[in-house]
Structure 1
Amino acid sequence: MATLVEKFFDNKQALTAELSATLEQSLRAGIASDGRAVLMVSGGSSPAPAYKHLSTLDLDWQHVDVAMVDERWVDSSHEKSNEAFINSTLLQNYGAAANFVTMKNSATTAAQGSAACETAYNALKRPFDVTILGMGPDGHTASLFPHAQGLEQGLTSDKLVCAINAIESDVTGSITERMTLTLNAIAQSKVVKLLISGEEKLAVYKQAKAGGDVNDMPLRAVLNHPTINIEVYWAP
């Protein structure tokens, strides 16, 4: 079982304030101790206000590496690109000086691009200082989707990234081809911050925490990992 700390807030503003403060602390500590800090970022509405706040802080951004947790295999100009989302929220203002490591490369498919992506991620300092995860109503996290093609590799490989082809659903949308951090990579973080909002997702989180088949709810693999330090942030 992972080490779990649950932080439940009355509203999203309180969650954002706590998340912003702790992210700043982690980045400053990483730079102070190692000369660089590594922040693994997810897309989604929950972290967006914290990203925008972080971008306004006069940190030593030239010594911060920002890298994607997962990405749809689409160009960065695509409306569904997580890279575009990070560019428009975190990599603004002072944050524009950070070193951004993307997942999407020029390969035609995610599978063909995984080797180059692995090389790029292997160059990052480990352990990562912070990894930010979200969770879908189907129990996926990062792009580790239930019963997806590539899921077994994502959960068992000793690599940092792997290609995923999810089963199309309302959650995935039409773009099922992804690149994602593996469970092994998620475990190589000083802290994992799992962001959840709303009663529906809280119920899904509790179901995942209760145990069961990781293929049905891949978040279970993270919650059950013996060495992962997870802080769960929830707001209504």
Structure 2
Amino acid sequence: MAIHSCMDIVPIFDGLNPEQKREISDAITHIKVKRNETLYLPGDTLDTLYILASGQIHLVKLNENGKEQLVSILQPGEFMGELSIFNTSKTETMAVAKKDSLLCTLRYDAFQAFLLRTPQVAMKMLQALSVRVQAAQRQTLTIATDSVQNRIGRYLLETGGDIGMAKKDLASYLGTTPESVSRTLTALEEQGAIRPTHARKFAILKKELLLHEE
């Protein structure tokens, strides 16, 4: 992967002219993190925008009982730490690499100055934030109202059957337990709805069986 390919895979940088791309490219630094390495913790004050170039990052929140809740799964092309650009409050999440990852980083002071000169990037970032807030709201509603089967069924439909993580992480993301995830996946296999193809991947055979009316 080209060292500045993160500029090419992040939608907020679409449409930049060559001079603007050079400005961002000159401001970018890079860090590599190993699997299970923590980037930052709840309570940290961030001063950097992180753009995931390769790998996978989990954003985890601690509830009032100290239990971890997986709230977001970042794939290449997505970014984190953006809220602190507009709000200097401490972060509420912990960022953990679930695969060896390469990140492009931008210091807030340089990026804020760039946003002031390129309002189209600022607008795209606000649009991306809006999409992320809507996704978080849907996730909260799903956990509160859907059965475990429907939560797992929707996730399989959204990912094309690619779970992409350990069952304990999927359980945390969907607000259930690893045992419930295992039972539900086994039941869906027995019903002929899905068939395992590779580690953590399933072929979806009968979409209509993945969801059921409450």
TM-score category, normalised to shorter length: under 0.3
**TM-score scaled to structure 1, two decimals?**
0.25
**Greater per-residue helix proportion:** 2
TM-score (normalizing by structure 2): 0.27
Larger Rg: 2
**Structure possessing the higher relative contact order (Cα contacts under 8 Å, 6 or more residues apart):** 1
